[in-house]
């Protein structure tokens, strides 16, 4: 459905933000600007403005946190998957999300922020992660819908990031997107099977779609007019397509998929607009979105508590790995002497 071949032109207006006057070394700044303008890659050893570094650490660490917190709602279903096949697929998917977190933390570390610092931000509740993971997965249909819609929205947002100006982030995203594509397809396929089942199964799918649809639209972030970071992130080639444009692409791609599946999308205002050549859609509840982002969603407390417990429970593994590494270093030093 969405693959690497899904590529879209940059939004109109890209690079429209005037360059802020820099107090940094002007020559370095000019070299950085021309590389970004030529769609080149900035690498960890290159000079970069502090604000660019800060923005990347913010976005990449939030993204990494989303991946590892995103393991939790689906992880809850591994022991209750309806068949061995579904269990094996779900284990692989949840494991992939853990891997995505690792690539992303590694990409952020190249900017000089340690993984411990980033995790401390997450565990203390200071750092953000995607709003979508603060909603519950109530039944097996939710697992399919998370794959279809949540991973579908994630891919739509992440494919443009494969062309992000920061090399390590862009390269990490290539593999992430390939895996996300599998995640989305497995969710959709699980739902197709349920939709051929009993009336009760079909109702479960429709109910799950009704609960997740609006939350998935909000995942793309606030409307462009209320997005404080977008303009500068686009000027720097970090963001390639705006929040609203990605949301629109997601709606347009999802409507025909819903038709094939045989479900309706819970929006009376959703309709094709011939003039715009896009679907119109209704109002997103931004108050509910911000309440969730700021800690008051239905599962925020539970997610954070589970995450902190998992981290603490894994302390012995980190201790053992460090002890082993120290031992190896001592051996190597002795041999070299």
User: Which parts of this chain interact with ligand BYC (CB under 6 A)?
Assistant: 58-59, 62-63, 66-67, 70, 97, 128, 130-131, 150-151, 154, 157-158, 219-222, 227-230, 233, 239, 243, 293
Provide, rounded to whole angstroms, the least separation between the CB of residue 1 and ligand BYC: 15
When the beta carbons of 67 and 267 are compared against ligand BYC, the nearer one is 67
Query: Do 101 and 167 form a contact (C-beta atoms < 8 A)?
Result: no
Distance between CA atoms of residues 246 and 270, nearest Å:
16
What does the angle CA 324 – CA 328 – CA 332 come to, to the nearest 5 degrees? 170
The residue at minimum Cβ distance from ligand BYC is 70
When the beta carbons of 115 and 128 are compared against ligand BYC, the nearer one is 128
When the beta carbons of 198 and 295 are compared against ligand BYC, the nearer one is 295
Provide, rounded to whole angstroms, the least separation between the CB of residue 204 and ligand BYC: 20
When the beta carbons of 243 and 264 are compared against ligand BYC, the nearer one is 243
When the beta carbons of 62 and 206 are compared against ligand BYC, the nearer one is 62
Provide, rounded to whole angstroms, the least separation between the CB of residue 328 and ligand BYC: 33
Residue of 67, 239, 228, 68 whose CA lies nearest to 166? 239
Distance between CA atoms of residues 18 and 13, nearest Å:
12
The two structure tokens encoding residue 296: 């008051």
Provide, rounded to whole angstroms, the least separation between the CB of residue 182 and ligand BYC: 12
Query: Do 103 and 77 form a contact (C-beta atoms < 8 A)?
Result: no
The two structure tokens encoding residue 93: 């998917």
Radius of gyration of the chain (CA): 21
3-state secondary structure of 10: coil
Q: Which residues 6+ apart lie within 8 Å of 70 measured at CB?
A: 97, 129, 130, 132, 133, 150
When the beta carbons of 103 and 220 are compared against ligand BYC, the nearer one is 220
Provide, rounded to whole angstroms, the least separation between the CB of residue 205 and ligand BYC: 18
Provide, rounded to whole angstroms, the least separation between the CB of residue 148 and ligand BYC: 11
When the beta carbons of 225 and 337 are compared against ligand BYC, the nearer one is 225
Reported as type and span, the H/E element at residue 279 is strand 278-280
Looking up tokens 């739902």 gives 191
Provide, rounded to whole angstroms, the least separation between the CB of residue 246 and ligand BYC: 8
Residue of 93, 220, 95, 101 whose CA lies nearest to 144? 93
Looking up tokens 């820099």 gives 22
């Amino acid at each position: 459905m969405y693959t690497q071949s899904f590529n879209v032109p940059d939004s109109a207006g890209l690079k429209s933000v005037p360059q802020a006057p820099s107090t940094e070394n002007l020559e370095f700044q000019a070299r950085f600007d021309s590389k970004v303008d030529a769609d080149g890659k900035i690498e960890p050893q290159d000079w970069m403005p502090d604000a660019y570094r800060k923005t990347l650490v913010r976005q990449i660490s939030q993204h990494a946190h989303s991946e590892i917190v995103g393991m939790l709602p689906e992880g809850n279903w591994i022991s209750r998957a309806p068949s061995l096949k579904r269990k094996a697929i779900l284990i692989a998917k949840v494991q992939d999300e853990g891997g995505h977190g690792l690539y992303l933390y590694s990409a952020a570390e190249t900017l000089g922020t340690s993984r411990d610092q980033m995790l401390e931000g997450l565990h203390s509740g200071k750092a953000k992660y995607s709003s979508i993971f603060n909603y519950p997965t109530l039944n097996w249909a939710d697992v399919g819908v998370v794959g279809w819609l949540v991973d579908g929205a994630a891919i739509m947002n992440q494919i443009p990031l494969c062309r992000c100006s920061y090399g390590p982030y862009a390269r990490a995203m290539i593999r992430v997107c390939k895996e996300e594509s599998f995640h989305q397809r497995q969710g959709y396929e699980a739902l197709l099977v349920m939709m051929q089942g009993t009336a009760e199964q079909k109702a479960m799918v429709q109910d799950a779609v009704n609960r997740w649809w609006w939350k998935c639209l909000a995942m793309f972030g606030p409307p462009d007019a209320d997005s404080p970071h977008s303009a500068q992130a686009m000027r720097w080639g970090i963001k390639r397509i705006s929040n609203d444009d990605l949301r629109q692409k997601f709606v347009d791609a999802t409507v025909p998929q819903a038709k094939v599946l045989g479900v309706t999308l819970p929006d009376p205002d959703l309709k094709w607009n011939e003039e715009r050549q896009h679907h119109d859609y209704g109002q997103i509840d931004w108050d509910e979105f911000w309440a969730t982002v700021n800690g008051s969603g239905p599962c925020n407390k539970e997610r954070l508590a589970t995450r902190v417990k998992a981290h603490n429970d894994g302390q012995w593994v980190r201790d053992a790995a460090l002890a082993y590494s120290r031992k190896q270093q001592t051996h190597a030093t002795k041999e070299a002497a």
